[in-house]
Structure 1
Amino acid sequence: MIVVDKVLISDEIAEAQFVCDLNKCKGGCCEEGDAGAPLEDAELDIMVDLFEKVKPYLTPAAIAEIERKGKYVYHREFGWVTPTLGGDNEICVYGSRDEKGIIKCAFEQAYNDGVIGWKKPISCHFFPIIQKTGKRGEYDRMNYEPRPTLCSPACSLGKKLKVPVYKFLKEPIVRKYGEDFYKALEKAATEYYTGKEK
């Protein structure tokens, strides 16, 4: 376990290697799961405020589902989550498939086009790191939880390119915790490896 600024980080985040291979997984993490993407409380208002700007990136079925369910829904196990088309293990309403069958996020597409300044929910950005805050808010926990079958191409590509999980996910880590936190994590991960080599 690595500890940085009251964040408990699993050793696998320093040790395991991972690089998304969208041509193989097709963005399946936006579809496979027990519920939609978990949302932080602060993200709820952001999604409402940005909805009209991302609406052109949504499918007609998604718009209809959002009008029926709302821009986010409450799940008794996961809290606030994005709605999905239908039930569990269905595509997130904010996702749609491109001509290659790859699921693209409406928020991320709008962000990449310069339409909005918010990329996507932090839980999506972090995957396959699952980040949670302790029940009393006294600490955060970061675990590496790739999907066994879905993420196997990403695990293989990460090993081939020799990219540790924390380096692949530098952008969301900095987005959530800041540049100084990332530098401390990088230092701790390097020391972790040095200790293992002895």
Structure 2
Amino acid sequence: MALLFFMAKKSKYLEVGEILVSPEVITEYFACDLEACRGACCVEGVEGAPVAEEEKELLLETLPRVIDTIPPANVDYMTTHGVLYSPAPGAWATMIVDGGRCVFTCNEEGECCRCAFEKCFTEGSQSLFYKPISCHLYPVRTRRTDAGRTILYYDVWSPLCDAAVARGQREGIRIYRFVRSALVRAYGAEWYSRLEEVADHYLSSHE
């Protein structure tokens, strides 16, 4: 398979179908270490998690099924302020409380933070929604080119995710492997297979 490059703003992107992929997604290592970070990405930051327009309806439909998992204070906040907000025209994000905590965050044993949707989905409840794809993809983020093409890039969050980088390096897990299920969910198994081919070619020619 031919390996193609796309020049944009002095950076090289790998072209996988219609998606542009930053080489760091392939070369860098990452694997969440919840024992170290305790799910800090759910409670840190200044904005809520981006929610795609096509996710809104399913998220709202599923919310009543997971509401008992969410702390009462967060439920009260949602009742008063809403579930989602719009940080920019045409964009949506999860509401946050206490300056950074996602309103859907719940605490598990040992005070590890977790998404209530993910908890209910993985524990076999009737949840229909896993969690926002933006969360599922992390540390991969997306943005659009002026021409409307999607770029996937590595969002470096240091020191918050330093333990995840160290674990990825220790266990030999590259970013695109770590987020495989999210990439398949977002773009399909066939696209991910093409990404693997591109990754193998790129790594063999650069290492």
TM-score using structure 2 length: 0.89
Deviations 1:22-71 (A, max 9, x none): 01011111111120101101111112111110101111011001111112
Deviations 1:141-168 (A, max 9, x none): 1010131101000000000001110001
Instruction: Mark the runs of 5 or more structure 2 residues left unpaired by the alignment.
Output: 1-12
Instruction: Name the counterpart of 2:139.
Output: 128
Native 8 Å contact 2:62 2:128 kept in 1: no
Distance between the aligned counterparts of 1:73 and 1:17, measured in 2? 33
Aligned-partner residue type, residue 38 of structure 2: K
Instruction: Mark the runs of 5 or more structure 1 residues left unpaired by the alignment.
Output: none
3-state SS in 1 of match to 2:97: coil
Residue 14 (str. 1) matches residue 26 (str. 2):
yes
Distance between the aligned counterparts of 1:96 and 1:196, measured in 2? 42
Residue 69 (str. 1) matches residue 74 (str. 2):
no
Query: Structure 1 residue aligned with 2:68, among 50, 56, 80?
Result: 56
Instruction: Name the counterpart of 2:130.
Output: 119
Q: Displacement, 1:133? A: 3.7
Q: Displacement, 1:117? A: 2.9
Instruction: Name the counterpart of 1:174.
Output: 184
| Matched-pair identity in % | 29
Aligned-partner residue type, residue 37 of structure 2: C
3-state SS in 1 of match to 2:101: coil
3-state SS in 1 of match to 2:96: coil
Query: Structure 1 residue aligned with 2:158, among 148, 156, 162?
Result: 148
